[in-house]
């Protein structure tokens, strides 16, 4: 069993914070209390239904006041100091806390909560619901700069443990239908903090992307993920393969850089992975990210999206899956979603997936030599 440990505490305004200590942590068990004088939590956002698509749009005005690329001495994710009243009271290895200005949050002031999936799938005009859910920040390290790829193997394993622990806990909350861990990396993606961190969104509905996936499984059959994995493993698009995981550039890649990572057995989410699968992932995922960073001289902007099965439907059919995407199509060029992609959802790929796979494999080999895990 893993020797990674965790403990929960409460911030000054009542939000939860959870500390995860590395297996080889040098920290003691004590954690400082949050002594800040904070205002009450803002009202939870409200979401509105688009009757043209049935999708729900969360209107989270409080996010307008969030920090934007602050200097290191005012890093809100660093451990608190006399001159920096940050969000994390103590030094830490990995810290997870409720977002102060969430897109989805607790039901604080009203009773207009979603009334289950049947309620949310009905189409109507002027429909609103409170954006009930939870948004958490996952601090990968107390360092001011970096990303998941810059972590040690031990720290990467701790973050994976945190993803699994939080997926299990969040999935058990009332009204949560889907849990989504992700990392945004780079100002080109819209990152507002250089601090190495990710987020976990817990939605009150099944996301539009997952609804389309469920429709595809209904048309194809329940073996879709197993068949995709078998097909990709026999292709020239594999970039990494271990005992438990395979990474590949997908056959119909949309983005200039796009890599998917699948477990070899069916598992619905991080909570269902074994210690052995998590151990191997901590190595393969670091190798993949360092390889993607080695494609160009400058660090590669990306979105690392961990797709998980919804809480109450599709769990026997939808498999945990990483979809890593980057808009970088050349050293000094980005792919922008313009007319066809943004307006119609009709994608045009810039680079053949087989060519991307070859370049990623070569970059991983270089990174393995220069910065081995």
Q: Does residue 197 have an active-site annotation? A: yes
What residues does 10 pair with on adjacent strands? 16
Q: Tell me the C-alpha distance between 42 and 61, whole Å.
A: 10
- DSSP letters along 28-48, please? -S--------PPPPPPPPEEE
Name 284's Cβ contacts closer than 8 Å, sequence gap at least 6. 240, 242, 245, 247, 261
Q: Which string of b and e fits 275-309 if b means at least 16 CB within 10 Å?
A: eebbebbbbbbbbbbbbbbbbeeebbbbbbbbbbb
* Encoded tokens for 157: 């394993």
Nearest to 161 by CA among 17, 20, 305: 20
> Helix, strand or coil for residue 56?
strand
Q: What is the DSSP letter of 126?
A: S
- C-alpha distances (whole Å) from 351 to each of 30, 223, 246, 249, 354 are 51, 29, 22, 11, 9
What is the value of pTM for the model shown?
A: 0.96
pLDDT at 1: 42
Domains in the chain (CATH in brackets) are 5-205 (3.30.428.10), 210-370 (3.30.428.10)
Which residue is catalytic, options 73, 194, 195, 197?
Answer: 197
Q: Show the DSSP H helices in 234-273 as ranges.
A: none
Q: Tell me the C-alpha distance between 286 and 304, whole Å.
A: 12
Q: Show the DSSP H helices in 141-274 as ranges.
A: 153-171, 208-220, 224-233
pLDDT at 64: 66
**Averages of pLDDT over each 10 residues, the chain, 373 residues:** 87 97 96 94 94 96 71 93 95 97 87 90 96 97 96 98 98 96 94 93 97 98 98 98 98 97 98 98 98 96 98 98 96 92 93 97 97 92
Q: Which residue has the tokens 């438990």?
A: 244
pLDDT at 309: 98
pLDDT at 322: 98
Return the number of other C-beta atoms located less than 10 Å from residue 352's C-beta: 12
């Amino acid at each position: 069993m893993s020797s990674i440990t965790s403990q929960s505490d409460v911030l000054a305004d009542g939000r939860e914070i959870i500390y995860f200590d590395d297996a080889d942590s040098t920290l003691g068990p004590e954690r400082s209390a949050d002594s800040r004088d904070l205002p009450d939590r803002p009202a939870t956002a409200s979401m509105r239904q688009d009757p043209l698509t049935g999708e729900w749009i969360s209107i989270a005005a409080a996010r307008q006041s969030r920090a934007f690329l602050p200097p290191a001495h005012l890093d809100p994710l660093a451990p608190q100091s006399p001159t920096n009243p940050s969000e994390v009271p103590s030094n830490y290895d990995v810290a997870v806390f409720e977002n102060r200005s969430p897109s989805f949050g607790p039901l604080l002031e009203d009773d207009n909560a979603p009334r289950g999936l049947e309620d949310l799938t009905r189409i109507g005009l002027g429909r609103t619901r409170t954006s009930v859910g939870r948004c958490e920040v996952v601090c990968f390290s107390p360092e001011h700069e970096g990303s998941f790829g810059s972590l040690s193997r031990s720290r990467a394993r701790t973050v994976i443990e945190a993803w699994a622990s939080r997926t299990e806990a969040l999935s058990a909350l009332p009204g949560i239908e889907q849990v989504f861990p992700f990392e945004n990396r780079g100002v080109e993606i819209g990152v507002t903090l250089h601090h190495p961190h990710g987020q976990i969104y817990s939605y009150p509905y099944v996301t539009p992307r997952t609804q389309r996936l469920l429709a595809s499984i209904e048309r194809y059959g329940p073996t879709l993920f197993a068949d995709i994995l078998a097909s990709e493993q026999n292709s020239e698009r594999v970039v990494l393969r271990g005992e438990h995981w395979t990474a590949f550039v997908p056959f119909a890649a949309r983005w200039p850089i796009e890599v998917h990572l699948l477990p070899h057995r069916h598992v619905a989410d991080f909570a269902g992975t074994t210690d052995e699968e998590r151990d191997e992932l901590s190595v393969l995922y670091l190798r993949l990210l360092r390889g993607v960073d080695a494609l160009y001289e400058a660090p590669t902007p990306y979105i690392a999206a961990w797709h998980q099965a919804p809480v109450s439907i599709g769990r026997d059919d939808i498999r945990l899956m990483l979809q890593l995407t980057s808009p970088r199509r050349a050293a000094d060029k980005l792919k922008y979603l313009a007319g066809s992609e943004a307006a119609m959802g009709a994608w045009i790929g810039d680079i053949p997936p087989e060519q991307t796979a070859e370049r990623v494999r070569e970059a991983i080999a270089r990174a393995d030599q220069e910065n081995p895990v």
